[in-house]
């Protein structure tokens, strides 16, 4: 058994914590003693407008439960906003232990009809915002503290696997996986662990908001987000998927493949089944692992 995971004296930032999954994460973390920066711009699901009441309401909920939180109304989608979110933690409590980078919008459009400005705004929030404008100053603060920390990036089944109409969203979400894999390596020595979570829950973003406690509610994802934000979680550089009480790890695998030093396009196509056969595969953890795998197969 694992003892109850507490976050006493720890400071956690949750972006997009004014509703849906982020709110559920923030409430659960606060209930376990964390001090929270509750960040939310408070706009619509397509990212238009802003409303300070989204973050303020969640701060009030945390305070009503006896917890400690500050609201941040900055947008994750600008470098200044990202820095201000991290500064909110450092200015108030002088430390940062974990970041859950969760804020998100949707502007679905089929690829042929994609409007580039719209696509860019989606990438700005999820990829540049979540992955760089907020996560980079957070990573730097954790490194400087000498205590390490945890960063949880929010990916999506749409990015990992594809979904009609979600070209920009999917590209941004899969881009975060590439970033996470590199931060795993760069943060290791400093004790910074970075993982990615693909949540599945009924929220306003999916057009089917449900209560936290509903069978498909955000509350069914919060436990794994909390586990991944805790210092006791040893995992670094992995992708998890969770929803409706289901908790799973997503892998990137390489098939054993087919070896032929004299291959041509024709012989490769003739042996396509062997190239693709997933009955034997390995799961490299970094680009460096590929050389080892290639050597072991090609000799």
Q: Angle 39-177-166 (CA atoms, 0-180°, nearest 5)?
A: 80
Nearer to ligand NAD by C-beta: 207 or 288? 207
Tell me which residues in 227-266 interact with ligand NAD (CB under 6 A). Answer: none
Minimum Å gap between C-beta 221 and ligand NAD is 8
Nearer to ligand NAD by C-beta: 114 or 297? 114
Spatial separation of the C-alpha atoms in residues 255 and 243, rounded to whole Å = 28
Q: Which stretch binds ligand NAD (CB under 6 A): 110-118, 177-185, 192-200, 229-237?
A: 192-200
Q: Which of 25, 133, 169, 240 is catalytic?
A: 169
Residue from the set 27, 36, 69, 76 that interacts with ligand NAD by CB under 6 A: 76
Q: Quick one: tokens of 65?
A: 């439960």
Contact 224, 250 (CB under 8 A): no
Task: Give the rounded distance of the alpha carbon of 224 from its chain centre.
Answer: 12
Question: Per CB under 6 A, does 121 bind ligand NAD?
Answer: no
Strand order in the sheet with 246-250: 68-72, 35-39, 11-15, 98-101, 149-154, 192-199, 239-243, 246-250
Spatial separation of the C-alpha atoms in residues 289 and 254, rounded to whole Å = 11
169 an active-site residue? yes
Question: Per CB under 6 A, does 75 bind ligand NAD?
Answer: yes
Question: Per CB under 6 A, does 22 bind ligand NAD?
Answer: yes
Residue from the set 15, 121, 168, 195 that interacts with ligand NAD by CB under 6 A: 15
Q: Residue 212: is it exposed, middle or buried by C-beta count within 10 angstroms (0-12/13-18/19+)? A: middle
DSSP state of 289: H
Minimum Å gap between C-beta 126 and ligand NAD is 6
Question: Per CB under 6 A, does 170 bind ligand NAD?
Answer: no
With residue 55 as reference, give the H or E element that holds it: helix 53-64
Contact 249, 196 (CB under 8 A): no
Question: Per CB under 6 A, does 166 bind ligand NAD?
Answer: no
Nearer to ligand NAD by C-beta: 34 or 125? 125
Minimum Å gap between C-beta 266 and ligand NAD is 41
Nearer to ligand NAD by C-beta: 250 or 297? 250
Angle of helix 135-145 relative to helix 167-187, nearest 10 degrees, comes to: 10
Nearer to ligand NAD by C-beta: 83 or 147? 83
Residues with a known catalytic role: 169
Give the binding site for ligand NAD (CB under 6 A): 15-16, 18-22, 39-43, 45, 47, 54, 75-77, 102-105, 125, 129, 154, 156, 198-201, 203-206
């Amino acid at each position: 058994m694992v003892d109850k995971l507490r976050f006493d004296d720890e400071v956690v930032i949750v972006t997009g914590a004014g509703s849906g999954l982020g709110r559920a994460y923030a409430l659960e973390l606060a209930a376990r003693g964390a001090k929270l920066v509750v960040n939310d711009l408070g706009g619509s699901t397509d990212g238009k407008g802003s409303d300070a009441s989204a973050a303020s309401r969640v701060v009030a909920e945390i305070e009503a439960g006896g917890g400690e939180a500050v609201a941040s109304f900055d947008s994750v989608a600008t470098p200044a906003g990202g820095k201000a979110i991290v500064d909110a933690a450092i200015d108030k409590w002088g430390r940062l232990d974990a970041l859950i980078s969760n804020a998100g919008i949707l502007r679905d459009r089929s690829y042929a009809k994609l409007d580039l400005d719209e696509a860019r705004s989606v990438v700005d929030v999820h990829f540049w915002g979540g992955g760089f404008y907020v996560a980079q100053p957070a990573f730097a603060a954790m490194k400087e503290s000498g205590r390490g920390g945890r960063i949880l990036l929010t990916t999506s089944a749409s990015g990992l696997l594809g979904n009609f109409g979600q070209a920009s969203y999917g590209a941004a979400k899969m881009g975060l996986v590439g970033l996470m894999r590199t931060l795993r390596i760069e943060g290791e020595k400093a004790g910074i662990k970075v993982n990615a979570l693909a949540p599945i829950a009924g929220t306003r973003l999916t057009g089917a908001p449900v209560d936290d406690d509903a069978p498909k509610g955000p509350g069914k994802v919060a436990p794994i987000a909390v586990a991944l934000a805790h210092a006791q979680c040893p995992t670094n550089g992995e992708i998890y998927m969770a929803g409706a009480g289901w908790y799973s790890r997503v892998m990137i695998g390489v098939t054993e493949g087919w070896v032929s030093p004299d291959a041509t396009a024709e012989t490769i196509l003739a042996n396509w089944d062997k190239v693709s056969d997933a009955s034997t595969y390995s799961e490299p953890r970094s680009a460096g692992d590929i050389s080892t795998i290639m050597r072991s197969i090609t000799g």
